[in-house]
A and B are shown apart, each in its own frame.
Chain A
Amino acid sequence: DAMVIQNPRYQVTQFGKPVTLSCSQTLNHNVMYWYQQKSSQAPKLLFHYYDKDFNNEADTPDNFQSRRPNTSFCFLDIRSPGLGDAAMYLCATSLRDGRPFFGSGTQLSVL
């Protein structure tokens, strides 16, 4: 049973057109993470939520925003996607100090 669900699996957007990626979880974990993974690179942490506390990585561009309306859902908003934002976006969840569970990712293409 899928526990961390990312939709859609593939997303195509146009240069400069805002796009939202979604993540939901059935684990009731209080921490949710967003990672960006470009081709042949390791996942890079963008930000995470501990409950409603938002923690931004220092080098995450302002173009990336996130929302967590409740425990189960978290969204990644890319306000003005550029060609360099094409990547796999991974969502993960965990309990505090627990091991993260990852979703299958959303592959974003920017045309």
Chain B
Amino acid sequence: DAKTTQPPSMDCAEGRAANLPCNHSTISGNEYVYWYRQIHSQGPQYIIHGLKNNETNEMASLIITEDRKSSTLILPHATLRDTAVYYCIVRVDNNDMRFGAGTRLTVKP
């Protein structure tokens, strides 16, 4: 199984970039990296996903290393509303989405 490792918690100053790392050293060639976040008592919210290339959308950027063994989610200008638990997920089979422990990001004023 491809599994992910994330730091349990991180802090970030409001307005600064938040860089959330994820290790997935056993990832296979056709497995995507997904990022979701969850604000307390809500369902997980999709952020971004990628396979090999770096990706960017209106919420974030995803940087995947060339060997695909790790990735970084970047929130370019963190706000207080970005305080949440961020999950990095590698899709093991076609239809399985299994969550790791996640990183609790706290954005501070």
Residues of chain A whose beta carbon lies under 8 Å from any beta carbon of chain B = 4, 31, 33, 35, 42-45, 48, 50, 55, 88, 90, 92, 94, 96-97, 99-105, 107
By a CB distance below 8 angstroms, the chain A residues around B101 are 42
Listed A/B pairs (12) with beta-carbon separation below 8 Å: A4-B43, A31-B95, A42-B102, A43-B99, A45-B96, A50-B94, A55-B95, A92-B44, A96-B94, A99-B34, A99-B46, A102-B45
Within 8 A of A (CB), among B28-56: 34, 36, 41-46, 49
Q: Which label, helix, strand, loop or mixed, suits the secondary structure of the B interface? A: loop
Min Cβ gap A4→B in Å is 8
> Within the assembled complex, what's the spacing in Å between the Cα atoms of A92 and B45?
11
By a CB distance below 8 angstroms, the chain A residues around B46 are 99-101
Q: Does B17 interact with chain A (Cβ within 8 Å)?
A: no
Min Cβ gap B29→A in Å is 15
Residues of chain B whose beta carbon lies under 8 Å from any beta carbon of chain A = 34, 36, 41-46, 49, 85, 87, 94-102
- Of the candidates B44, B94, B96, B102, the one whose C-beta lies within 8 Å of that of A102 is B44
Which 7 residue pairs across A and B have the least CB separation, nearest first? A102-B43, A42-B99, A102-B44, A43-B99, A104-B43, A50-B95, A31-B95
> Which of A48, A90, A101, A102 is most buried by chain B, counting CB atoms within 10 A of its CB?
A102
> Within the assembled complex, what's the spacing in Å between the Cα atoms of A48 and B93?
12
Given contact pairs A42-B87, A96-B94, A99-B49, A105 touches B99 in the complex (Cβ within 8 A): no
By a CB distance below 8 angstroms, the chain A residues around B45 are 102
Min Cβ gap A82→B in Å is 22
> Within the assembled complex, what's the spacing in Å between the Cα atoms of A43 and B99?
6
By a CB distance below 8 angstroms, the chain A residues around B99 are 35, 42-45
